């Protein structure tokens, strides 16, 4: 084309990135990949195909692992664990550094390979996926050296089974492997069967970096292979990123196994625009929120909430912007959107779009040029959607935005939180007061103010509610790969029996600040006393009381909570004579209450040192309602320790007393009642442990469960799968840091600056 012709109409030509090095690499491997186990390739198992979703072309054949190969991989990881976990921090750091550096040195090759295997545009793999993957290794290289100073009393967990999704294959691999290795764990990882190739390239990088054989093992396959990993008895930890449905299944299957579990699941993240937002910037933010990676992002800002007064002008701007998005060959450097992962995924998304239309939503797609074949979809807007529409509730995982309106900030928060998910949120307002107020009240693990989809190895990422638990990135992410060593003191040995009484004592449940009889009207005999026989309805009442109370309790200032706990300590000592526990233990319990009172206003959050112009606040927020299953001993000390730690950090507590040693809990209820602990903040249930623990764990308004009895761990973990509440199977020997960690979850708030 001559310059004169070019001048007639200004536009974008094609700017393809070359794929020849990837073709050579595939040819070098003869188009077939096996598993990377113990530092060698294992070519075993049935073959499946991995294709380029943009063209449908076959890229490679890949072996699928069955139990034999998974066993082999786990054996390799077990074999490597002792040495790797004992390797000096600096030596682990050197290897992690190499992994990061080699990724950087092969950046373009990896970017092209990822784009081919996944369908995402080269612009994103080149500028986001690959650089961030490298950053995760170099960041965590540092942690392996300074781990001990920040996490005293913690050690590596063991063999980690990791299962990752197809939307960010290399990046998710890095998010999983880097912290695991930094903490001294070994790994068996399964890439998604739709996009396994960058993991294969990573295997070669491990070898080049000098990672000892068996520290990282990569097995390929589909859900069956994943299940083999999840259920493998020699794997101590499962880390999963994927759908909420599969996460729930994994929770059930690992219940009672003693495996540690972290889940990073689905989302339906709100993108909230206030009238005082920079609307043009918000439009650009929205493009990054929902059309980044074709919307195949767990934290995609897929629910647009616009203030009613600006809705029509905002949507007009949005449609104009959507008309400029370029959909096309993923290897074209000037393309905004590539292909979806597969024809099936495209079909699924199309069905949801039709569902949105049939439920009254207005579906709009720009008439942009589209490739004729391949799993492509245009950017899609469904406006006029109600919270009750299917498309407003379900995760679509495609380039589809739904829009709703709100009237006030309070309503925006209410609509934003009106979902089982809680992964991320984006808030747009130039008014700092409004933005921070909304950020504070959103139930989401990450909140981006006037920005969206920002990630860094130095800041934790993970969910609230059914978006999962555990964090990836930052110091909070390391917790997911460390196991607490136990404290020295064993409180479980102690038991207290009722003291002889002059007048008969009526033990009652304590719910909503009242001593009440159990719903059943029955009691059970324990050590010669009649103890209230709680049931499902008592659980319901207690949860209702705790839910209501927790809203106000978390808003109370930390110094106020601190003072109330100090007063509780005071009253414990005052009541010492009448309590079942020996006075020495009461004094120790008072000391314990005092200690948590101290923590109440000292468990500060962090400001993460992320690159770019952001203040990234890691705020520690209470869960809300924590149900605790008492240890068998039922000792006053254990009750005070657990209850006060949860209360100190702003949670309401439902205490299920020990079935066999319930008396100290009833004593504590008396003290709670006179210590200014607001009604409903601490509730007491008694009765048969197993059914009541199950009821508490399944109740969807209970936000977390602590279980101090291993015997009911399985039922607690299994029942928790309903709303995917985190569970803590704890021993009486747990150290303070563990109580602190399980009383809060981290919300990262990204605040950009610049004028």
Partner 1 sequence: MDLTTLAGDDTPERVRRLCHKALWPIRPQLAEALQLDPTRYRPAAVCVYHEMLETARECLKGSGIALAAVSTGFPTGLTPFAVRLAEIRSSVDAGADEIDVVISRRHALRGEWEALYDEVKSFREACGAAHLKTILATGELGTLRLVAQASLTCMMAGADFVKTSTGKEVVNATLPVGLAMVRSIRDYYETTGFKIGFKPAGGIRSAKDSLDWLILMMEELGEQWTRPHLFRIGASALINDIERQLDHYAFGRYAASWRQPLP
- Residues annotated catalytic, as ranges: 264, 298
Q: Segment near partner 1 (CB under 8 A), from 1-9, 345-353, 377-385, 711-719?
A: 1-9
Q: Which is nearer to partner 1, 12 or 90 (CB)?
A: 12
DSSP string computed for 476-493? HHHGGGEEEPP-S---TT
4 binds partner 1 (CB under 8 A): yes
**Closest Cα partner for 340 from 376, 381, 302?**
376
Grouping H, G, I as helix, E, B as strand and the rest as coil, residue 17 is coil
Report in angstroms how near the CB of residue 292 gets to partner 1 at its nearest.
17
Cβ(492)–Cβ(638) below 8 Å: yes
Would you give the binding string for partner 1 spanning residues 271-290, x where CB under 8 A is met?
A: ---------x----------
Residue from 3, 27, 501, 503 binding partner 1 (CB under 8 A): 3
For residue 520, CA distances in Å to 272, 531, 539, 618, 687 come to: 47, 12, 12, 45, 11
Q: Which is nearer to partner 1, 379 or 680 (CB)?
A: 379
1 binds partner 1 (CB under 8 A): no
Report in angstroms how near the CB of residue 14 gets to partner 1 at its nearest.
16
Element (H, E) at 188: strand 186-190
For the record, the structure tokens of 145 come out as 């050296």
Cβ(483)–Cβ(155) below 8 Å: yes
Q: Which is nearer to partner 1, 10 or 503 (CB)?
A: 10
Q: Which is nearer to partner 1, 5 or 433 (CB)?
A: 5
Cα–Cα distance measured from residue 419 to residue 754, given in angstroms and rounded to the nearest whole number = 33
Cα–Cα distance measured from residue 384 to residue 67, given in angstroms and rounded to the nearest whole number = 50
Residue from 49, 105, 150, 324 binding partner 1 (CB under 8 A): 324
Q: Which is nearer to partner 1, 500 or 754 (CB)?
A: 754
For residue 366, CA distances in Å to 297, 378, 607 come to: 22, 7, 41
Q: Segment near partner 1 (CB under 8 A), from 2-10, 128-136, 160-168, 358-366?
A: 2-10
Q: Which is nearer to partner 1, 282 or 649 (CB)?
A: 282
Report in angstroms how near the CB of residue 429 gets to partner 1 at its nearest.
15
**Closest Cα partner for 35 from 82, 68, 83?**
68
Grouping H, G, I as helix, E, B as strand and the rest as coil, residue 85 is helix
**Closest Cα partner for 507 from 499, 495, 516?**
516
* Residues 6 or more apart whose Cβ sits within 8 Å of residue 60: 26, 29, 31, 32, 33, 49, 50, 197
Report in angstroms how near the CB of residue 323 gets to partner 1 at its nearest.
10
Cα–Cα distance measured from residue 215 to residue 231, given in angstroms and rounded to the nearest whole number = 20
Residue from 9, 372, 433, 577 binding partner 1 (CB under 8 A): 9
Give how far the C-alpha of residue 134 lies from the chain's centroid of Cα atoms, to the nearest Å.
Answer: 22
Q: Segment near partner 1 (CB under 8 A), from 3-11, 163-171, 569-577, 668-676?
A: 3-11
Q: Which is nearer to partner 1, 317 or 514 (CB)?
A: 317
Report in angstroms how near the CB of residue 2 gets to partner 1 at its nearest.
6
Residue from 2, 358, 388, 584 binding partner 1 (CB under 8 A): 2
Report in angstroms how near the CB of residue 316 gets to partner 1 at its nearest.
9
Would you give the binding string for partner 1 spanning residues 235-274, x where CB under 8 A is met?
A: ----------------------------------------
Phi-psi sector, 376: left (phi>0), alpha (psi -120 to 50), beta: beta
For the record, the structure tokens of 280 come out as 């043009």
Residue from 86, 488, 503, 755 binding partner 1 (CB under 8 A): 755
* Count of residues interacting with partner 1 (CB under 8 A): 9
Report in angstroms how near the CB of residue 54 gets to partner 1 at its nearest.
24
Per CB under 8 A, contacts with partner 1 among 56-115 are: none
**Closest Cα partner for 235 from 185, 196, 271, 194?**
185
Report in angstroms how near the CB of residue 37 gets to partner 1 at its nearest.
48
Per CB under 8 A, contacts with partner 1 among 579-638 are: none
Q: In the complex, which residues of this chain contact partner 1 (CB under 8 A)?
A: 2-4, 9-10, 280, 324, 754-755
């Amino acid at each position: 084309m001559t310059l004169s012709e070019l001048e007639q109409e200004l536009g974008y030509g094609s700017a393809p990135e070359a794929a020849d090095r990837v073709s050579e690499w595939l040819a070098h491997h003869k188009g077939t990949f096996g598993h990377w186990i113990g530092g060698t390739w294992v070519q075993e198992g049935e073959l499946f195909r991995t294709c380029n979703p943009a063209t449908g072309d076959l890229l490679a054949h890949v072996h699928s692992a069955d139990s034999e190969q998974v066993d082999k991989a786990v054996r390799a990881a077990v074999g490597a664990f002792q040495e790797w976990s004992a390797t000096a921090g600096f030596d682990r750091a050197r290897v992690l550094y190499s992994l990061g550096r080699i990724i950087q040195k092969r950046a373009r090759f990896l970017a092209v390979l990822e784009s081919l295997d996944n369908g995402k545009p080269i612009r994103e793999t080149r500028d986001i996926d690959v650089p961030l993957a490298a950053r995760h290794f170099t960041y965590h290289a540092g942690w392996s050296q300074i781990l001990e100073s920040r996490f005293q009393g913690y050690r590596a967990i063991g063999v980690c089974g990791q299962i990752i999704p197809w939307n960010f294959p290399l990046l998710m691999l890095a998010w999983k492997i880097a912290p695991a290795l930094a903490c001294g764990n070994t790994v068996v990882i399964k890439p998604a069967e739709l996009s396994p190739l960058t993991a294969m390239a990573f295997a070669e990088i491990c070898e080049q970096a000098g990672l000892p054989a068996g520290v990282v093992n990569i097995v390929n396959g589909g859900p069956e292979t994943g299940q083999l990993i999840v259920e493998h008895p020699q794997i101590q930890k499962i880390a999963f990123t994927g759908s909420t449905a599969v996460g729930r299944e994994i929770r059930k299957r690992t219940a009672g196994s003693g495996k540690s579990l972290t889940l990073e699941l689905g989302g339906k993240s709100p993108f909230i625009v206030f009238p005082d937002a920079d609307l043009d910037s918000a439009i650009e933010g929205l493009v990054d929120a929902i059309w980044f990676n074709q919307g195949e992002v767990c934290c995609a800002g897929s629910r647009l909430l616009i203030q009613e007064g600006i809705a029509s002008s905002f949507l007009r701007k949005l449609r104009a912007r959507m008309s400029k998005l370029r959909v096309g060959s993923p290897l074209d450097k000037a393309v905004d959107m590539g292909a979806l992962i597969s024809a099936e995924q495209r079909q699924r998304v199309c069905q949801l779009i039709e569902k949105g239309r049939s439920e009254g939503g207005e579906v709009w797609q720009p008439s942009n040029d589209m490739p004729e074949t391949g799993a492509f979809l245009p950017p899609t807007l469904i406006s006029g959607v109600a919270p009750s529409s299917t498309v407003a509730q379900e995760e679509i995982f495609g380039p589809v935005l739904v829009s709703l309106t709100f009237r006030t900030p309070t309503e925006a928060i209410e609509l934003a939180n009106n979902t089982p998910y809680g992964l991320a949120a984006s808030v747009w307002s130039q008014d700092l007061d409004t933005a921070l107020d909304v950020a504070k009240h959103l139930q989401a693990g990450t909140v981006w103010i006037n920005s969206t989809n920002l990630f860094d190895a130095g800041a934790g990422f993970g969910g609230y509610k059914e978006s999962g638990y555990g964090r990836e990135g930052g110091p909070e992410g390391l917790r997911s790969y460390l196991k607490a060593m136990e404290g020295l003191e064993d409180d479980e040995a102690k038991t207290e029996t009722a003291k002889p009484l002059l007048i008969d004592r009526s033990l009652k449940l304590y719910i909503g600040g009242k001593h009440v009889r159990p719903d059943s009207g029955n009691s059970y005999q324990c050590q010669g006393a009649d103890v209230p026989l709680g049931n499902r309805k008592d659980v319901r009442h207690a949860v209702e009381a705790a839910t209501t109370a927790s809203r106000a309790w978390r808003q109370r200032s930390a110094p106020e909570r601190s003072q109330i706990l100090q007063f509780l300590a005071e009253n414990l000592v005052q009541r010492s004579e009448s309590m079942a526990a020996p006075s020495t233990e009461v004094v120790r319990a008072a000391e314990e209450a005092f200690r948590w009172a101290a923590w109440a206003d000292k468990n500060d959050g962090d400001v993460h040192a992320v690159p770019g112009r952001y203040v990234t606040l890691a705020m520690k927020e209470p869960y809300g309602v924590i149900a605790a299953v008492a240890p068998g001993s039922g000792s006053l000390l254990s009750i005070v320790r657990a209850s006060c730690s949860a209360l100190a950090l702003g949670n309401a507590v439902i205490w299920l007393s020990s079935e066999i040693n319930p008396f100290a809990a009833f004593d504590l209820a008396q003290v709670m009642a006179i210590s200014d602990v607001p009604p409903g903040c601490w509730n007491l249930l008694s009765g048969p442990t197993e059914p009541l623990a199950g009821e508490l764990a399944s109740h969807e308004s209970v936000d977390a469960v602590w279980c101090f009895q291993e015997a009911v761990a399985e039922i607690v973990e299994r029942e928790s799968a309903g709303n995917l509440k985190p569970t803590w199977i704890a021993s009486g020997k747990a150290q303070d840091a563990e109580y602190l960690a399980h009383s809060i979850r981290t919300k990262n708030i990204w605040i950009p600056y610049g004028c």
